[in-house]
């Protein structure tokens, strides 16, 4: 069939066969099919969707468009964790070392931040010398040696996704469940792990703004993972307010280090323990999530998780003295309080606006070529549900430019809702799909 006929077929709401989907993905990856025809197909998919079989075939064709890592030489059940993104999300920095210290192999590929969401790779580069581009052999050897490695995505891992995403981004075809599923799961399946735990963030600072859409995405990704014979579960986690108290690269790394020492914010640790207990169960070390959580809590309490973090940073060439002495991280020039204007209770700290405020300070990217200022960001002083007095800080802005700080302050005040009525702290784990 000509590409014209396949576009017409999907435009009419008909199914594409397994072979047709594979031919489309292979042809586009090679450069044989032009952008304008793929754009038309993407829009037809946005209007008419794909059934579960088409969705699986799309994911597998994208997975097979490049390298597939063979991690069979790593001992044990290899586990990856993926987040759909959020504000203040430093979960991997805390979770990975805890799980590895228990003996679960963590083989993780991570990305960089874009827009108001942060990236794990950027945060790890807060440690001078840290190598974010491990070869496949180095990656495998390190996981076998110390049970954890985190690296950037290989250029030839699911290259079809890279091409398709760039096109979706400029043709208003990003927010379709089959296309989102294919994008995420093609990379996860190509990464070669045995089990995957998904953190599907929900709310103001997340890609999915409401539970219904997030649940649909979670179910779709879990379905694909199971069809591909992976152990997989998805946790819907709250991203209506920033996770933890720190937003910004160095600030989040410092918070993660403190968390590994046993001083982590309650909301951050709740997400870490929920995701981690699932990872431990998948590993087979424990069969009960409560017992798995107890193992994690003990790893933090006895210092083995923090020690594993030091070992991890050193193994990838990073200067671990920064993890031993957080005063080595370069501070921002200004630390400016943003004070409440009335008494009451904090009802909202709109996560997306806090993320955008941090980005406006220089702490994030609008394009992948932007250079991040690692020292800037925001430290919250209050969380939703807390009481606050007029003149008391909502948060502190860490900035290197006064004008940018003033702009961020305006954004934060508009994103903060204070009411005289009491309200509850936010529920962190919204739902689980297994």
The per-residue pLDDT for 366 is 73
- Is the pLDDT assigned to residue 367 strictly greater than 80? no
* More confident position, 99 or 157: 99
Query: DSSP letters of 104-153?
Result: --EEEEE---BTTB--HHHHHTTSTT------HHHHHHHHHHHSEEEEEP
Q: Tell me, yes or no, whether 291 and 368 share the same domain.
A: no
The per-residue pLDDT for 111 is 75
The per-residue pLDDT for 115 is 59
Query: DSSP letters of 341-386?
Result: SS-EEEEEE-HHHHHHHHIIIIIS-SSTTPPP-TT-EEEES--TT-
CATH number at residue 394: 3.90.1170.30
Could you list the residue range(s) of the whole structural domain that residue 378 is in?
331-419
Give the confidence band of 169 by pLDDT, cuts at 50, 70, 90.
Answer: confident
Give the confidence band of 365 by pLDDT, cuts at 50, 70, 90.
Answer: confident
- Please state the rounded mean pLDDT for residues 212-222: 97
Specify if 67 maps to a domain. Answer: no
Residue 61, helix vs strand vs coil? helix
Q: Tell me, yes or no, whether 111 and 251 share the same domain.
A: yes
CATH number at residue 237: 3.40.1030.10
The per-residue pLDDT for 266 is 97
Which of 214, 235, 169, 161 has the alpha carbon at shortest distance from 191? Answer: 161
Q: Tell me, yes or no, whether 207 and 313 share the same domain.
A: yes
Specify if 63 maps to a domain. Answer: no
Q: Tell me, yes or no, whether 218 and 88 share the same domain.
A: yes
The mean of the pLDDT values for the chain is: 95
Q: Tell me, yes or no, whether 188 and 248 share the same domain.
A: yes
Q: What's the length of the chain?
A: 434
Last residue of a domain, one of 296, 324, 352: 324
Specify if 158 maps to a domain. Answer: yes
CATH number at residue 11: 1.20.970.10
CB under 8 Å to 291, separation ≥6 — which residues?
Answer: none
Q: Tell me, yes or no, whether 197 and 291 share the same domain.
A: yes
Specify if 307 maps to a domain. Answer: yes
Least confident span in 18-27, 132-141, 204-213, 366-375:
366-375
Least confident span in 94-103, 117-126, 184-193, 272-281:
117-126
Q: Tell me, yes or no, whether 266 and 152 share the same domain.
A: yes
Specify if 387 maps to a domain. Answer: yes
Specify if 427 maps to a domain. Answer: no
Q: Percent of the chain scored above 70 by pLDDT?
A: 98
Q: Tell me, yes or no, whether 178 and 277 share the same domain.
A: yes
Last residue of a domain, one of 272, 304, 324: 324
- Is the pLDDT assigned to residue 223 strictly greater than 70? yes
- Is the pLDDT assigned to residue 58 strictly greater than 80? yes
Q: Tell me, yes or no, whether 272 and 226 share the same domain.
A: yes
Specify if 430 maps to a domain. Answer: no
- Please state the rounded mean pLDDT for residues 267-271: 98
Specify if 71 maps to a domain. Answer: no
| Measured distance CA(23)–CA(33) in Å, rounded | 10
- Is the pLDDT assigned to residue 368 strictly greater than 70? no
Q: How many independent structural domains does the chain possess?
A: 3
Terminal Cα-to-Cα distance of the chain (whole angstroms): 38
| pLDDT tens-digit map of 21-50 | 999 999 999 999 999 999 999 999 999 999
- Is the pLDDT assigned to residue 118 strictly greater than 90? no
Last residue of a domain, one of 306, 324, 342: 324
Q: Tell me, yes or no, whether 250 and 230 share the same domain.
A: yes
Q: Tell me, yes or no, whether 189 and 317 share the same domain.
A: yes
Q: Tell me, yes or no, whether 299 and 377 share the same domain.
A: no
Residue 288, helix vs strand vs coil? coil
| Secondary structure letter of residue 67 according to DSSP | B
Which sign does the torsion angle of CA 419, 246, 433, 48 carry? positive
| R_g of the chain, CA atoms, integer Å | 22
Write down the pTM of the prediction.
Answer: 0.94
The catalytic residue positions are: 82, 161, 168, 183, 187
The per-residue pLDDT for 113 is 63
The per-residue pLDDT for 153 is 77
CB under 8 Å to 284, separation ≥6 — which residues?
Answer: 77
């Amino acid at each position: 069939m000509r590409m014209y006929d396949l576009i017409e077929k999907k435009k009419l709401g008909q199914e594409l066969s397994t072979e047709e989907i594979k031919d489309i993905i292979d042809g586009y990856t090679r450069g044989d099919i032009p952008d304008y025809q793929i754009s038309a197909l993407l829009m037809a998919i946005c209007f008419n969707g794909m059934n579960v079989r088409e969705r699986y075939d799309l994911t597998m064709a994208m997975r097979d468009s490049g390298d597939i890592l063979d991690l069979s030489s790593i001992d044990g059940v290899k586990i990856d964790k993926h987040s759909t993104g959020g504000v203040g999300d430093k979960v991997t920095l805390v979770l990975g070392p805890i799980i590895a210290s228990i003996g679960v192999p963590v083989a993780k590929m991570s990305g960089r931040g874009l827009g108001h969401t942060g990236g794990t790779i950027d945060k790890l580069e807060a440690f001078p010398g840290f190598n974010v581009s491990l070869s496949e052999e180095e990656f495998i050897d390190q996981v076998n040696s110390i049970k954890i490695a985190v690296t950037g995505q290989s250029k030839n891992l699911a290259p079809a996704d890279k091409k398709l995403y760039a096109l979706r981004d400029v043709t208003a075809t990003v927010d379709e469940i089959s296309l989102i599923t294919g994008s995420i799961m093609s990379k996860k399946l190509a990464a070669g792990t045995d089990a995957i735990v998904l953190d599907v963030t929900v709310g103001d600072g997340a890609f999915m703004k409401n539970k219904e859409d997030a649940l649909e995405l979670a179910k779709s990704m879990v379905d694909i993972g199971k069809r591909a014979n992976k152990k997989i579960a998805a946790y819907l986690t709250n991203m209506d307010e920033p996770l933890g108290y720190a937003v910004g690269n160095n600030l989040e790394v410092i918070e993660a280090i403190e968390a590994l020492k046993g001083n982590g914010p309650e909301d951050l640790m709740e997400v870490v323990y929920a995701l981690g207990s699932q990872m431990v169960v998948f590993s087979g070390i424990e069969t009960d999530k409560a017992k798995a959580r107890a193992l994690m809590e003990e790893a933090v309490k006895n210092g083995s998780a923090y020690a594993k973090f030091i070992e991890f940073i050193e193994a990838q060439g990073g200067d671990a003295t920064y993890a031993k002495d957080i005063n080595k991280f370069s501070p921002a020039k200004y630390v400016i309080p943003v004070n409440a204007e009335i008494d009451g209770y904090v009802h909202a700290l709109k996560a997306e606006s806090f993320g955008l405020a941090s980005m406006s300070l220089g702490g994030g990217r609008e394009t992948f070529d932007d250079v991040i200022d690692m020292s800037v960001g925001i430290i919250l002083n209050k969380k939703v549900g807390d009481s606050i007095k007029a003149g008391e800080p909502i948060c502190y802005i860490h900035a290197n430019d006064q004008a940018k700080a003033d702009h961020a302050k305006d954004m934060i005040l508009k994103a903060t809702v204070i009411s005289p009525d009491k309200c509850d702290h936010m529920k962190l784990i919204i739902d689980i799909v297994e």
